[in-house]
Amino acid sequence: MQTVTVSPKFQVVIPKHVREQLHITAGQKMMAMSYGEHIQLVSVKPAKALHGLLKGCDVDMDNIRDKSDRF
């Protein structure tokens, strides 16, 4: 584990071994979320990258919820 420092502009540098392990590139978009005293960075993927994500998923779209749930 490596310590990072927050700059006066509230910036931090992600350590090189973490960037390489997670394949983070310059200019990549990330979401920052806080959980108590923790910060989580999550990579934002463009919608085009999600194409085909559920290919082969066996879901019966007609029976997602019961007919009685519908108005």
Asked if residue 55 has pLDDT above 80, the reply is no
Give yes or no for a contact between 5 and 12, defined as CB atoms under 8 angstroms apart. Answer: yes
User: Which two tokens mark 53?
Assistant: 């994500």
CA distances, 45 to each of 18, 22, 31, 68 (Å): 18, 13, 10, 37
pLDDT for 53 equals 72
**Tens digit of pLDDT for each residue in 22-41?**
999 999 999 999 999 999 99
Of 41 and 66, the structure prediction assigns the larger pLDDT to 41
Domain boundaries, the chain: 1-46
Structure confidence at residue 45 (pLDDT): 79
Q: Which fold has domain 1-46?
A: Pemi-like Protein 1; Chain: D (2.10.260)
Q: pTM of the predicted model, to two decimals? A: 0.59
Element (H, E) at 16: helix 16-22
Rounded Cα gap, residues 12 and 7, in angstroms = 6
